[in-house]
Amino acid sequence: MQGFLKIIPLFLVIITINASTALAQSEQSDSQLAGEYFRNNQYEKAAVLYKKLYEKKHSHIYYNYYLHCLLQMEEYRDARKLVKEEMDRNPSRERYLVDLGYVYINEGKTSKGERLYEQAIDELSASRSEVMDLANAFRFRREDEFAIETYLKGRKLLKGEYEFHYQLARIYQNLGDYDKMVQEYLDLIEFKRSKMRIVQSRLQSALNEDSRGKISEALRNELLRRIQQFPEKGYYSEMMLWLAVQEKDFESALVQAKAIDRRAMTDGRNVFRIAGMAASNKAYEIASEAYNYVINNSGDRYMRIKSKVELLNVEFKQATAGEVPDKERLTDLENQYEETIEELGRSKLTLPLMRNMAHLQAFYLEKVDSAITMLEEAIKLSGNQNEQQALCKMKLADILLFSGQPWDATLLYSQVVKSFKNEPLGHEAKFRNARLSFYIGEFGWASTQLDVLKAATSKLIANDAMELSLLINDNMDQDSVSEGLQMYARADLHLFRNNHQKALATLDSIGNLPNAGSHALVDEVLYKKAQIHIKQGNFDTAARELQQIIDKHPDKILADNALFELAGLYENHLDNKDKAMQLYQKLITEYAGSIYVVNARKHFRRLRGDQVN
56-85, pLDDT tens digit by residue? Answer: 888 888 888 989 999 999 888 998 999 998
SS3 content of the chain, % helix, strand, coil (to 5): 80, 0, 20
CA angle 30, 34, 35 (to 5 degrees): 120
Contact 406, 436 (CB under 8 A): yes
| Residues contacting 460, CB < 8 A, separation 6+ | none
Mean pLDDT of the chain: 86
Check: CB of residue 417 under 8 Å from CB of residue 408. Answer: no
pLDDT for position 563: 94
Residue 348 is given by DSSP the state: G
Residue 455 contacts by C-beta under 8 Å, 6 or more apart in sequence? 462
Query: Are 27 and 53 a contacting pair, CB within 8 Å?
Result: yes
Q: Span 407-433, mean pLDDT? A: 92
3-state secondary structure of 433: helix
Query: What are residue 175's phi and psi, to 5 degrees?
Result: -80, -10
* Helical pair 459-475 and 424-439, crossing angle rounded to 10 deg: 20
CB 297 within 8 A of CB 264: no
Cβ atoms of 510 and 542 within 8 Å: the answer is no
Q: What is the mean pLDDT of residues 516-539?
A: 83
Mean per-residue pLDDT for 154-172? 90
Is the distance from CB of 67 to CB of 76 less than 8 angstroms?
no
Could you give the C-alpha distances from 70 to 55, 67, 299, in angstroms and in order?
15, 5, 74
**Euclidean distance between CA atoms 457 and 50, whole angstroms:** 53
CA dist 54 and 72 (Å) reads 18
Q: Which is higher by pLDDT, 207 or 7?
A: 207
pLDDT > 70 fraction of the chain, expressed in percent and rounded = 92
Mean pLDDT across 415-431: 91
pLDDT at 612 over 90: no
- pLDDT band of residue 146 (cuts 50, 70, 90) is very high
Closest CA to 317 of 336, 330, 331: 330
At 429 the pLDDT is 93
Say yes or no to pLDDT of 238 above 70: yes
The maximal CA–CA distance of the chain, rounded, in angstroms, is 114
Q: How far is CA 55 from CA 63, 66, 72, 88, 91, in A?
A: 9, 11, 20, 15, 19
pLDDT at 26: 59
Question: Half-sphere exposure of 386 toward its Cβ, with a 13 Å CA cutoff?
Answer: 10
Superfamily of domain 479-608: Tetratricopeptide repeat domain (1.25.40.10)
**Least confident range of 178-182, 304-308, 381-385, 506-510:** 381-385
Give the Cα-Cα-Cα angle 8, 14, 20 (nearest 5 degrees). 135
Interval 244-268: pLDDT, tens: 888 888 898 899 889 888 887 888 8
Reported as half-sphere exposure (CB side, CA atoms, 13 A), residue 583 has a value of 26
- Distance (Å, rounded) from C-alpha 2 to C-alpha 5? 5
For residue 101, report the phi and psi dihedrals to the nearest 5 degrees. Answer: -60, -40
Structural domain boundaries of the chain? 324-418, 479-608
pLDDT tens digits, 542-586: 999 999 999 998 998 889 999 999 999 999 999 999 999 999 999
Residue 29 has pLDDT above 70, yes or no: yes
- pTM, two decimals, is 0.67
Query: DSSP readout, 103-130?
Result: HHHHHT-HHHHHHHHHHHHHT--S-HHH
Q: Which among 63, 68, 41, 43 has a CA at the least distance from the CA of 53?
A: 63
| CA separation, residue 88 to residues 91, 130, 173 (Å) | 5, 18, 36
pLDDT of residue 537: 85
Shared fold status for 324-418 and 479-608: yes
- Give the model's confidence band at 535: pLDDT under 50 very low, under 70 low, under 90 confident, else very high: confident
Residue 75, SS3 per DSSP: coil
Question: What is the reported pLDDT for 4?
Answer: 46
Give the relative orientation of helices 234-246 and 214-229 as an angle to the nearest 10 degrees: 160
Task: Kindly state the average pLDDT of the residues 412-418.
Answer: 94
pLDDT attached to residue 510: 84
Residue 585, pLDDT score: 92
Residue 378's pLDDT band, with cuts at 50, 70 and 90, is: very high
pLDDT of 517 over the 70 cut: no
Residue 15 has pLDDT above 50, yes or no: no
Contact 185, 203 (CB under 8 A): yes
Closest CA to 441 of 478, 407, 399, 487: 487
- Residue 316 identity (one-letter amino acid): F
The CATH homologous superfamily for domain 324-418 is: Tetratricopeptide repeat domain (1.25.40.10)
Please name which of 520, 483, 490 lies closest in space to residue 507, comparing C-alpha atoms.
490
Selection from 566, 468, 476, 484 nearest residue 521 by Cα? 484
pLDDT band of residue 13 (cuts 50, 70, 90) is very low
- The 10 Å Cβ neighbour count of residue 416 is 26
User: Can you tell me the distance from the alpha carbon of 203 to that of 220, in angstroms, rounded to the nearest whole number?
Assistant: 12
Report the pLDDT value the prediction gives residue 210, as an integer from 0 to 100: 79
The strand ranges marked E within 363-433 are none
Range with lowest mean pLDDT among 183-187, 325-329, 415-419, 423-427:
325-329
Asked if 475 and 521 touch (Cβ cutoff 8 Å), the reply is: yes
CA 107 – CA 74 distance, rounded (Å): 8
Closest CA to 457 of 478, 428, 419, 432: 428
SS3 of 439-508: HCCCHHHHHHHHHHHCCCCCHHHHHHHHHHHHHHHHHCCCHHHHHHHHHHHHHHHHHHCCCHHHHHHHHH
What value, to the nearest 5°, has the Cα angle with vertex 249 and ends 582 and 607? 15
Predicted local confidence at residue 481, as pLDDT: 46
DSSP H helix total and E strand total for the chain: 32, 0
Q: What is the mean pLDDT of residues 484-507?
A: 90
